[in-house]
């Protein structure tokens, strides 16, 4: 199947619920509960178990994960769903979250792509916005992939819970999905996260958490991190992952407003 072009993807926003359709992919985002991410996902009319690209606060005390901030504004601009949040007394940040349905590049094997950009600012000195992007999907196999020499990739199967820290190259996780004969991949530049946590269970539901922002935030400074995802044909999915990594690295971060 050919890659998805920008004109084939769109969002519709009704109050707090945004609906996405990009080629054969559809799903929902509740902008008031970004920790749920893209859910009620269907691919080619087939429902996929789980959810992806949820954005939440990283809580150190083991409390139930949530997003503590109220929505200041939400709108659709082109292929982007843009949501701004209000700071609170106990979490003094003004984040923006962009869910973007823009395709990476159009090439055979790329069935659809979606990214989430988190932009955060504070008006206080030396604060640390502990934010996580999380996906939970049912899969037959989970792979951790790094860019190798030249155009290749180095991949290893993840069969137990683990924590991975960034190296110099972009990192990628690949789910070979249980609900459809396709693969789902997430990519992030090494500079945008401080730790990657992987958890699985006996039913094959695998939870991946990208812990963002490795250092404290100075007053007035804006930090951004982008996680790119892609739905890929199962055949040659690792070669496609390498192509997606190259496409991601060539894209500039969009300016936030």
For 257, the token pair is 């407003």
Q: What is the pLDDT of residues 61-82, one digit of tens each?
A: 555 567 878 999 999 998 899 9
Domains and CATH numbers, the chain: 6-250 (2.70.98.10)
Full-model pTM: 0.87
Q: What is the pLDDT of residues 6-43, one digit of tens each?
A: 345 589 999 999 999 988 889 999 999 999 999 999 98
Place of tokens 């693969």: 183
% of the chain exceeding 70 in pLDDT: 81
Residue of higher predicted confidence among 102 and 251: 102
Rounded to whole angstroms, the Cα distance separating 94 from 167 reads 29
Nearest by Cα to 134 from 71, 95, 188, 78: 188
Rounded to whole angstroms, the Cα distance separating 52 from 199 reads 14
Residue 25 makes CB contacts below 8 A (sequence gap 6+) with 41, 42, 43, 111, 112, 114, 231
Confidence at residue 126, expressed as pLDDT on a 0 to 100 scale: 67
- Does 153 have pLDDT greater than 90? no
- Does 5 have pLDDT greater than 60? no
Rounded to whole angstroms, the Cα distance separating 95 from 59 reads 17
Coil, helix or strand for 135? strand
- Does 219 have pLDDT greater than 70? no
Report yes or no: 219 and 93 within 8 Å, Cβ to Cβ.
no
The rounded mean pLDDT for the chain is 83
- Does 1 have pLDDT greater than 50? no
Can you say how many angstroms the Cα of residue 201 is from the centroid of all Cα atoms in its chain?
21
């Amino acid at each position: 199947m050919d890659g998805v072009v920008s004109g084939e993807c769109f969002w519709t926003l009704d109050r707090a619920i945004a609906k996405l359709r990009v080629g054969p992919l559809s799903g929902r985002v509740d902008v008031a509960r970004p920790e749920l991410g893209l859910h009620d996902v269907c691919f080619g009319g087939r429902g996929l178990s789980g959810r992806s690209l949820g954005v939440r606060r990283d809580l150190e005390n083991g409390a139930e994960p949530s997003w503590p901030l109220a929505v200041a504004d939400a709108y659709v601009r082109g292929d982007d769903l843009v949501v701004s949040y209000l700071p609170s007394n106990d979490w003094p940040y003004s984040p923006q979250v962009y869910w973007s349905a823009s395709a990476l590049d159009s090439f055979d094997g790329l069935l659809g792509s979606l990214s989430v950009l988190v932009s955060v600012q504070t008006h206080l000195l030396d604060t640390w916005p502990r934010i996580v992007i999380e996906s939970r999907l049912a899969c037959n196999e989970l792979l951790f992939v790094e860019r190798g020499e030249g155009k290749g990739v180095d991949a290893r199967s993840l069969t137990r819970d683990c924590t991975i820290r960034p190296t110099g190259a972009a990192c990628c996780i690949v789910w070979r999905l249980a609900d459809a004969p396709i693969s789902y991949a997430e990519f992030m530049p090494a500079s945008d996260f401080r730790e990657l946590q992987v958890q699985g269970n006996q039913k094959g539901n695998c939870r991946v958490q990208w812990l963002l922002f490795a250092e404290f935030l100075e007053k007035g400074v804006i930090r951004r991190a982008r996680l790119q995802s892609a739905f890929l044909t199962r055949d040659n999915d690792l070669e496609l992952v390498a192509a997606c990594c190259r496409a991601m690295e060539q894209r500039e971060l969009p300016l936030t407003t």
